[in-house]
Amino acid sequence: MSDVAVRSQGVTILAALHEAFARVTGWKAMALAVLLGGFSSLAFAPFHATPVLIISYVGLVWMIDGARGQKRWGKAVFARGWGFGFGFFLISLYWTAAPFLVEPEKHAAFIWMPLLLLPGGMALIWGAVMAMGAAFWSSSPSRVFVFSFFFMLGESVRGQLFGGFPWNLPGTSWIPGGAVSQAAAIGGVYWLSLLTVLACAAPAALVDTRARRGIAIRLLPVVASVIVFAVIWAWGGQRVSQPAPLTDRTVVLMDAGIPQSEKFGKDGYANPELFRTYLEWLQADPGDPDDIVIWPEGAIGTLLLDDRQLAPTAEYLGERTLIAGTTRQQSVPGGGYEWFNSLVVLGDDSAVTGPSGLYDKHRLVPVGELAPADILPFGEAISGILPGAIQRMATSGFTPGVGPAIVYGDNVPPFVAMICYEGLYPQIARRAQQEAGHRADWLVVVSNDAWFGAMIGPAQHYAQNRYRAIETGLPMARVASRGVSSVIDGYGRETARAHRVETDREGWRGRLLRASLPAPVAQPLFQWRGGGAIFPMTLILVTLLAFFFWRR
């Protein structure tokens, strides 16, 4: 503790706790902020313990109360915001160290990069926005709205800066497909995130340092939050009580489940057993002519459109249709090639005609897929030490595709394609449909979750992907290598999940699923042209008005 003078007023039972958080300084304040941030990570998949955000956010607000009274308050608030962010990103993203352990003899010495540099760098955003927000701080309930506004300002920046990394937004703490998650259909996950931060920070208003103030004004943020989320819960509960209508189309999800460490040999070439496994599965169950078979991102580890792979794939596929992720190369004038992370639609005649549908990933993973030199001043220096589990061409990187698109292929309903990291972005499906001028029939997400390792990363990725179904009202087929492969309806509910397939390949965790594709549900407000901005902007306006009202 310190000699910072804080006398708490309000709900008596919380006064001592408020003083304890507000008075802590120095390294103890930094340690407490890191602990609060780390604790908040339990709110997300696979735990979905959203109430822990109340403890974390309230604790941070109360710590800023104390920091704001210090002589060098800007520095003190920044330190608390940075510490909170560091703890959160360290615990919730520790799995990003997994690629550095695929070939530990080469990369284990650089494991400090994902464990220190990544969380420390992203935490700078939270430190900066908290310091900015502290300039508008007061002891009234208005500080709850200031905190929420600037917190989400930081989340918006995080989703765009250096290519963006909008992982574990506060709104995704709610179980996807549950009642509260349905609010994303109205204004998207960022709108739900702002509501979540407001509600979880609201109890901080119960205690402040103002004397002779009634309890009613301090209760208003909490009461308002309870009412808002009660309405959301009731509306969302009615929404998810609806059955999931099915179409007459069948999807067959295939994931060979190869460990990332075995996908490529020491010579850099793809493991031939991987391609052989997919061909064996195609041959084992010829299925029906209308089946849509889906393979994950970079499914066979080599160029699927090369004649040596394309011809046997088309032969084993028969009359079925295949949607598969693959690396693709394209020659450029003057010699050389561009490389793309792509998704293709293939049929039995594709060996002659080529793919009937093609999509190139346009939202590339910062550093992992984008050339590091293109986004970081020191990128060229680190490109050589990045593990191949992230990107086997780290120096050159992939070329971004032209943008979001609806994919049209022979014998498949039109769909919006998203490859791995793109499944984090609400605007991709929305823009694709708006630019096409009509609605797609479904979403296809392919991913390589094998590089996440056997940690919490795949569960987090899956939960966030399901929010794209809620925002669009479209069913989703998701195939993730060593992740969750499943079919999801337009409410974000899982209708079928791939089951484990026993193989004679030790350590492989193959999964298969044959299931009916659900039908789209009514188009959500978030998908209407301009509708996606109405509710977020309205909530921001209300937040700012509430701030000015209470500040007076």
* Domains of the chain as residue ranges with CATH: 9-241+532-551 (no CATH), 246-363+400-520 (3.60.110.10)
What's the pLDDT score for residue 337? 83
For the question of residue 420 being annotated catalytic, the response is: yes
Instruction: Give the integer Cα–Cα distance in Å for 73 and 165.
Output: 29
Q: Which two tokens stand for residue 540?
A: 């921001």
pLDDT single digits (tens) 88-127: 999 999 998 887 777 666 667 778 788 899 999 999 999 9
Helix (H, G, I), strand (E, B) or coil at 496: strand
For the question of residue 297 being annotated catalytic, the response is: yes
Residues with Cβ within 8 Å of residue 470, at least 6 apart in sequence: 176, 177, 181, 182, 184, 185, 490, 491, 492, 524
Catalytic residue, candidates 155, 297, 369, 494 = 297
Catalytic residue, candidates 200, 361, 471, 494 = 361
What average pLDDT does the chain have?
90
pLDDT single digits (tens) 150-168: 999 999 999 988 778 999 9
What's the pLDDT score for residue 98? 80
pLDDT band at 335 (very low <50, low <70, confident <90, very high): confident
pLDDT band at 10 (very low <50, low <70, confident <90, very high): confident
Catalytic residue, candidates 155, 200, 369, 420 = 420
- pLDDT for 64 beyond 80: yes
Nearest to 446 by CA among 345, 329, 309, 317: 345
| Mean pLDDT value of segment 256-282 | 90
**DSSP H or E segment with residue 312:** helix 307-317
